[in-house]
Amino acid sequence: MAEETTGVRITQQAIYAKQLEHGEILVRLLEKLDHLDDVPARIREVEITLARLAWIEKIAYTGLTAGIVGLLSAIFSIVLK
Give the DSSP H/E element, type plus range, for residue 28. Answer: helix 12-34
Backbone φ and ψ of 51, nearest 5°: -65, -35
Tabulate helix, strand, coil % of the chain (nearest 5): 80, 0, 20
Report the alpha-carbon distance of residue 61 to residue 59 in Å, rounded: 5
Q: Does 22 have pLDDT greater than 90?
A: yes
Report the alpha-carbon distance of residue 74 to residue 42 in Å, rounded: 48
pTM of the model: 0.40
Q: How confident is the model at residue 34 (pLDDT cuts 50, 70, 90)?
A: confident
Report the alpha-carbon distance of residue 17 to residue 10 in Å, rounded: 11
